Structures are given as C-alpha cells and as structure tokens.
Amino acid sequence: MNASDAVIRVEDLHKSFGNLAVLAGMSLSVARGETVCILGPSGSGKSTLLKCITRLEEPSGGRIFVSGIDITRADVDINKVRADVGMVFQQFNLFPHKTALGNIALALEKVLRMSKPQARQRAMEELDHVGLSEKADSYPSQLSGGQQQRVAIARALAMRPKAMLFDEITSALDPELVKEVLDVMRRLASEGMTMIVVTHEMGFAREVADRILFIDEGVIVEEGEPNAILTNPQHKRTQQFLAKVLD
C-alpha cells in the first residue's frame, strides 16, 4: 500500500495507564475502502487502540494520522477528529429524551453547526441508510437494541466520516438482533467505507474483512487475509485464541 492511500496510519503507538502498558508499540495502516477486523482476547488493548484513534484516550507515545493529518498534535481540533472518524460502541449512548431523528440531528447541530432543517434532512437520509426511516419519531425506549444500535451508526455516519470504528457493537445484543446490525456494517463495507471492526463474529470477519489483525498484550501478533489467519494461523497465541472462539 502506498502511504498516501492510508486513511488511518498508526505509528508505534504506546499507551499506558500508570505502569500498566496497554499498547506496547502498535503500527498499522488502513487503506481507503478497506475493512480491517481486529480480533484478540479481552484486555488485549482493542478498545484502547480505537479510543486513541478518536483521541478519547491520549496516546503515551507514537503518532496517528488521519488522511495524512497528525491527530496526536496538541493543536488539533478534537471535534474535527471525532467527525472525521466515527466510532460506535457496544453501548448505544443515545439520549433517551430525544427521538431517533432528534439524536442524529442534535449531533449535527452541535458538532457541524448545521441549521435545524438541514440537520433534520441529513438525519433522515442516514436513518434511511440504516433502514430505519419509519422509526424517525420513535424514542430509544421504543426501539429494539438492534434498532438503537443502527441509530447510533446513523448518527456517526451523518458526520460523513472518512472512517468508521466499531467496537464490539453486537456484543450486547440478543442473538436474533445481531444480524441486522452486521448487515448494516456489511453494506457500509460494500459501499467503500473505510472501517476498523473489533468483533467476535468470526463469520462476519471471514466474509467481510479485507484483513484481520490479531492482537494480544498490546501488540499485533499476526495479520493477514481472513482465510490465512482463521484457517492457518502461524502464531501459538493466535491458534490458542481461535481454538477458544471457533467451533
């Protein structure tokens, strides 16, 4: 990959909490339109990596570039970083007193300073994108977990991000609601969105990922095409992890 094609480039990223080194020198690039799935055991640093890429955590060392801009610089506009790199979490974090449309429109008014009518129009487009236009006026409590998660995805997409980061977004859902959320990510991948997906859904990773990274103890242990990693892992730690999660 040509360095200039990278939407996200992480160079020797370190992150410690006190004397706990959570990220111990991680480097990766994600090309435009690429879907990278990240696998790894609990506590290996997956969420911390994604949070550093959106500056929800401050890196202890190393650099992170989004479309060539160093976002670890002190003078970077954090709001711009968060609009450019959308992140979706396991918890949906929707405002309970706002409708689905209202949740998305509010973010657009606050972050992008859009007018109310413009924000509502774009919010409607993004609800349609995730197949929820008929739920525009529903409150989160009136939506299933899968629907709430799709609203959260639409809220991030409404910022027209350069990349999307997904952190185990189906892990809290009832099993029958997982597919509708995976389908939305599948669709985004096929539309050419640049994505990093932390997931335990091995079928999804095999089918949708262009590349899989296996991380453990804050380093990338192994990376490659899904079939290579899932069928023929080279490292013992990858083999042990996969033996636990694959049937």
Sign of CA dihedral 211, 188, 92, 148: negative
Output 26 or 114, the one with its CB closest to Mg ion. 26
Residue of 9, 46, 135, 150 interacting with ligand ADP (CB under 6 A): 46
Q: Kindly state whether residue 47 participates in binding Mg ion, applying the rule CB under 5 A.
A: yes
CB of 106 to ligand ADP, least distance (A): 27
Instruction: From the list ligand ADP, Mg ion, none, pick the one residue 17 interacts with, judged by a Cβ distance below 5 to 8 Å according to partner type.
Output: ligand ADP
DSSP E strand stretches across 42-147: 61-66, 69-70, 85-88
CB of 205 to ligand ADP, least distance (A): 15
Q: 10 in helix, strand or coil?
A: strand
Q: Kindly state whether residue 199 participates in binding Mg ion, applying the rule CB under 5 A.
A: no
Burial class of residue 98 in the structure, from the number of CB atoms within 10 Å of its CB (0-12 exposed, 13-18 middle, 19+ buried): middle
Amino acid type, 192: G
Q: Specify the length of the chain in residues.
A: 247
Scanning 18-26, 46-54, 92-100, 125-133 for contacts with Mg ion by CB under 5 A, the matching segment is 46-54
Output 37 or 132, the one with its CB closest to Mg ion. 37
Burial class of residue 17 in the structure, from the number of CB atoms within 10 Å of its CB (0-12 exposed, 13-18 middle, 19+ buried): exposed
Instruction: From the list Mg ion, ligand ADP, none, pick the one residue 102 interacts with, judged by a Cβ distance below 5 to 8 Å according to partner type.
Output: none
Q: Kindly state whether residue 59 participates in binding ligand ADP, applying the rule CB under 6 A.
A: no
Residues in CB range of 155: below 8 A, 6 or more apart: 94, 103, 104, 107, 126
Q: Kindly state whether residue 43 participates in binding ligand ADP, applying the rule CB under 6 A.
A: yes
List contacts with ligand ADP (CB under 6 A).
Answer: 17, 20, 22, 40, 42-48
